[in-house]
Amino acid sequence: MAWLFLVPGAAETLAKVGIALPFGPPAQAEAARGPGGPGGPRFGGSDRATNVVTSAVVEATINDTLNAIGEGTPVRSVTVTAASAGTLADVLVRPGQIVQEGDVIARFDAAAEQIEYDRAMLAVDDVAATLQRTTGLANSNVVAGTALAAAELANANAQLALRNAELALERRTIASPIAGSVGLIQVTPGNYVGAQTAITTVDDTSAILIDFWVPERYAAQIRPGMAVTVSAVALPGRSFTGDISVIDNRIDPASRTLQVQAEIPNEDHALRAGMSFSVALAFPGENYPAVNPLAILWSAEGSYVWKYQDGAATRVMAEIIQRNSDGVLVRADLAPGDAVITEGILQLSEGTPVTVLEGPGAETSQTATGS
């Protein structure tokens, strides 16, 4: 029994010494076929294009948003106080009631002031009659001019006394100095109330002022009139817009922050003074190329993408600036409209011929392949 061993490449070796095997193709033909057979791949490359899918590069603005916590105050707020001491006779409003400027909030006992006012009125009438008689007599040269001057002075003093009595009587009535919502009533009728005692507060909440603090590095970018978006902790799911109304003139040296105030319209009075707010302030950011997240690959040199150009794959280094849900902003030699490869990327190397099945360049690529 004889054993036959087939050694790859033996035919070529035997052919060099003049021995031809009776089977198999000639050594020259086998060598001409190459390792991949007729039309197959050669070592060091491939003549067959790789199928890929591409995505277009777009231009996007970096998201530069400042978030802060602020506290709301009414656009105007007044503490209503008693101008003079006395017994509180009546309170004409209730907490939460909307009042207009000049509406009566409370009244004090005004019996003594009313008497003084009536006495002043009588005095005015008396001196007015005296002045009229004295004037007639002076015109007839019956009385001296000094008598007329004294009558005129008495009339002026009586007018001043009347105004003083009228003012004292008016102060027994407490009126709202602004339009707004009434707060808690601090006193009850029947109690003796001293001068400057707080009766209640009136808040004008047609707009809410929100005070918040921003880091020092944003001081040069903030301007009055910039738009802000706020949301209240007490009103989840709702957001409100307004603009910056006031910026402090100095940086707090302890916290290195700048105090800013935003005004938020509040026509439906949904917002209340004292609420806590989350404030978002957007700044104009730089523009960068944005690519599909699937296009990003990593190597020892950093992140990169494969760019489809002239029917082949070209490697482009891409420094990641910001990741968003719909794209990745990169610093790279890319322009809007360029095609980056998102599928089939694991089979690529520099200069690999590719056929774009879907995405930018697909029509041109497939036409070139078909020809």
Structure confidence by residue, pLDDT tens digits, 146-156 = 888 898 999 99
pLDDT, mean over the chain: 85
Amino acid of residue 225: G
Q: Kindly indicate the confidence band of residue 144, based on its pLDDT and cuts at 50, 70 and 90.
A: confident
Q: Kindly indicate the confidence band of residue 33, based on its pLDDT and cuts at 50, 70 and 90.
A: very low
Give, in degrees to the nearest 5, the angle at Cα 325 between 321 and 330.
20
| Of 23 and 218, the one with more pLDDT | 218
Confidence check: pLDDT of 39 > 70: no
Which residues make beta-bridge pairs with 207?
265
Confidence check: pLDDT of 3 > 70: no
Q: Kindly indicate the confidence band of residue 282, based on its pLDDT and cuts at 50, 70 and 90.
A: confident
Of 20-24, 87-91, 98-102, 214-218, the one with minimum mean pLDDT is 20-24
Total length of the chain: 371
Confidence check: pLDDT of 320 > 70: yes
The predicted model gives 31-56 an average pLDDT of 59
Amino acid 365: pLDDT:
60
Helix (H) or strand (E) holding 151: helix 145-170
- Domains, the chain, ranges and CATH? 50-62+287-370 (2.40.420.20), 64-108+175-284 (2.40.30.170), 110-171 (1.10.287)
Report percent pLDDT > 70 for the chain: 84
Q: Kindly indicate the confidence band of residue 277, based on its pLDDT and cuts at 50, 70 and 90.
A: very high
Give, in degrees to the nearest 5, the angle at Cα 301 between 297 and 304.
30
> Minimal CA–CA distance to 72: which of 266, 216, 238, 250?
266
The predicted model gives 57-79 an average pLDDT of 90
DSSP string, 203-230: EEEEEEEEEEEEEGGGTTT--TT-EEEE
Please, are residues 240 and 186 in contact by the beta-carbon 8 Å criterion?
Answer: no
**Site of tokens 């400027």:** 101
Helix axes of 111-139 and 145-170: crossing angle, nearest 10 degrees: 160
